[in-house]
């Protein structure tokens, strides 16, 4: 009879403890685990892949530097996504990029990814990104955090640094603005794009 | 009887109360404007629910770890220490001491009554060529130091 080996996913906290104990491989593990999400949040806020990569890398470096001060009682993702959010905001403020340029580059990226099967999905992605580019970074963050990993309102509130009630109001406003933007972009086509 | 935007999103998120759902059903049948608004929000909500996770570049982690290792290395500032000014001062001091000693006739040496003949050296010192040579050497050294300390940093700036 073979013994049953139960492989559990190592928690963020235990990876951090490894790092603090001197295990350098832990940095790689932590980065691999959270890179896509950090990159996506950054991408939604800054608008281009190149800048998003720079922001995500910068956020990781900041997080690694601050790891000794991290309170292990709190959730790593909440703490880290706050760093990503702030880094992306700072970047956005520093580099005010022409929205039209972003739209053009993203349309090109989406168009190149189009296949006959994935046409609709690529179209949806393209229009959502175009609409998001017209929203404020705060609105984009609220929407991204809520939909991408389905963070709770309490977690979103902690990441953005506001109360849960305010987060709910802000999320509602952000979704409303996005719906208006989608309507402006697509008119009556909005419904047909989805269904 | 109206339903607020926040309440519509509660319905879409699936956290609406029974009472709100009933109001919503009623409005959907009676109010065309509400119907349109709800459809618009529902379409956007459906699009957002399929929001894809973006993928980083393949070498993202490698680049990050390289950057992190670079950031951890202590910054070493290699500034070559130049002792040229000290050499210059030392040479000047030695020259002054030599000239003063020779011109005063070396009294301490005379009191011991050791027959020392400095006349050759004194003659050499009093030669115009040697003095000129010394002056030129010092001037060149001064120009060199001035160039290194003042002009080069200025033009580099």
Query: A106 and A87, same structural domain?
Result: no
Instruction: Examine residue A88 and state whether it is found in any structural domain, yes or no.
Output: yes
Q: Is B44:A175 a contact under the CB 8 Å cutoff?
A: yes
Are residues A90 and A102 located together in one domain of the fold? Answer: no
d(CA A7, CA A28): 20
- Residue in the block written with tokens 């459809």: B39
Query: Is residue A2, in this structure, part of any structural domain at all?
Result: no
Q: Are residues A85 and A107 in the same domain?
A: no
Amino acid A112: pLDDT: 44
Contacts 24+ apart (CB under 8 A), A13-16: A13/A72, A13/A76, A16/A67, A16/A70, A16/A72, A16/A76
Domain match, A107 and A19 both? no
Residues A103 and A193 in one domain: yes
How does DSSP classify residue A5? Answer: P
User: Three-state secondary structure along chain B?
Assistant: CCCCHHHHHHHHHCCCCHHHHHHHHHHHHHCHHHHHHHHHHHHHHHHHHCCCCCCCCCCHHHHHHHHHHHHHCCCCCCCCCCCHHHHHHHHHHHHHHHHHHHHCCCHHHHHCCCCCCCHHHHHHHCCHHHHHHHHHHHHHHHHHHHHHHHHHHHHHC
pLDDT of residue B1: 56
The pLDDT score that the predictor gives to residue B111 is 54
With CB atoms and an 8 Å threshold, state whether B65 touches A53: no
Which residues, numbered 11 to 70 in chain B, qualify as contacts with chain A under a Cβ-Cβ cut-off of 8 Å?
Answer: 39-41, 43-57, 60-61, 63-65, 67-68
Determine the structural domain holding residue A126 and report its residue range: 98-195
Q: Which of B5, B49, B54 sits opposite A39 (nearest CB)?
A: B54
A110 and A150 share one domain: yes
Tokens 């009472």 correspond to B19
Q: Does B66 score more than 60 pLDDT?
A: yes
Q: Which residues of chain A register pLDDT less than 50?
A: 1-7, 97-101, 103-104, 107-108, 110-117
Whether A82 and A102 map to the same domain: the answer is no
Write out chain B residues lying below 8 Å of A195, CB-based.
Answer: 43, 46
Of A73, A182, A61, give the one whose Cα is nearest residue A127: A182
| pLDDT at residue A177 in the model | 93
Instruction: List the CATH number of the domain containing A181.
Output: 1.10.10.10
Rounded (10°) angle between helices B32-49 and A137-148: 70
Are A53 and A27 part of one and the same domain?
yes
- Domain termination residue (choose one: A62, A81, A96): A96
Q: Do B41 and A194 touch (CB under 8 A)?
A: no
Report the distance separating Cα B88 and Cα B105, nearest Å.
Answer: 26
CATH of the domain at A73: 1.10.1740.10
Q: Which of A68, A96, A124 is the last residue of a domain?
A: A96
8 Å CB contact between B67 and A57: yes
Contact list in B for residue A147 (CB cut-off 8 A) is 48-49, 51
Question: In this predicted complex, what is the ipTM?
Answer: 0.72
**Is residue A113 one of the residues assigned to a domain?**
yes
| Structural contact between residues A56 and A38, judged by C-beta atoms closer than 8 angstroms | yes
What is the tally of structural domains in chain A? 2
The answer to whether residue A3 is domain-embedded is: no
- A127/B contact by beta carbon, under 8 A: yes
Q: Which residues contact B70 (CB under 8 A, 6 or more apart)?
A: none
One domain, residues A57 and A69 = yes
State pLDDT tens for residues B29-65: 988 889 988 988 988 888 888 777 888 999 999 999 9
Distances (CA, A) of B95 to A195, B90, B92, B99, B138: 98, 9, 5, 6, 11
Q: Tell me: do A106 and A56 sit in the same domain.
A: no
Q: What is the pLDDT of residue A114?
A: 46
Looking at A53, A74, A96, the residue that finishes a domain is: A96
Are A79 and A17 contained in the same domain?
yes
pLDDT, tens only, B83-125: 777 888 888 888 888 887 777 665 555 555 556 666 776 777 7
How many angstroms separate the CA atoms of A123 and B64, rounded?
A: 32
- The answer to whether A81 and A41 are in contact (CB under 8 A) is yes
């Amino acid at each position: 009879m073979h013994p049953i080996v139960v492989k559990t996913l190592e928690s963020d906290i235990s990876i951090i403890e490894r790092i603090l104990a001197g295990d350098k491989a832990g940095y790689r593990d932590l980065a691999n685990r959270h890179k896509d999400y950090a990159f996506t949040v950054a991408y939604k806020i800054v608008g281009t892949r190149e800048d998003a990569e720079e922001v995500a890398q910068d956020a990781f470096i900041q997080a690694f530097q601050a790891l000794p001060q991290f309170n292990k009682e709190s959730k790593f993702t909440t703490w880290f996504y706050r760093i990503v959010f702030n880094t992306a905001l700072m970047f956005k403020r520093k580099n005010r990029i022409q929205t039209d340029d972003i739209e053009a580059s993203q349309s090109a990226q989406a168009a190149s990814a189009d296949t006959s099967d994935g046409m609709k999905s690529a179209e949806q992605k393209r229009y959502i990104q175009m609409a998001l580019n017209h929203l404020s970074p705060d609105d984009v963050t609220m929407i991204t955090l809520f939909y991408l990993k389905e963070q709770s309102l309490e977690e979103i509130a902690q990441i953005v640094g506001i109360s849960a009630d305010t987060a709910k109001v802000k999320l509602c406003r952000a979704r409303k603005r996005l719906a208006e933007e989608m309507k402006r972009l697509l008119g009556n086509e909005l419904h047909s794009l989805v269904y | 009887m109206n339903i607020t935007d926040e309440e519509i999103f509660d319905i879409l998120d699936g956290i609406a109360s029974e009472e709100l759902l009933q109001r919503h059903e009623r409005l959907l049948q009676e109010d065309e404007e509400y119907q349109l608004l709800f459809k618009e929000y529902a379409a956007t909500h459906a699009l957002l629910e399929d929001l894809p996770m973006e993928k980083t570049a393949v070498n993202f982690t490698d680049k990050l770890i390289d950057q992190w290792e670079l950031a951890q290395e202590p910054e070493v500032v290699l500034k070559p220490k130049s002792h040229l000014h000290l050499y210059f001062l030392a040479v000047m001091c030695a020259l002054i001491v030599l000239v003063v000693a020779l011109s005063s006739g070396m009294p301490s040496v005379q009191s011991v009554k050791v027959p020392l003949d400095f006349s050759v050296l004194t003659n050499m010192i009093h030669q115009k060529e040697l003095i000129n040579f010394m002056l030129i050497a010092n001037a060149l050294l001064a120009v060199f130091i001035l160039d290194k300390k003042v002009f080069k940093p200025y033009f580099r700036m």
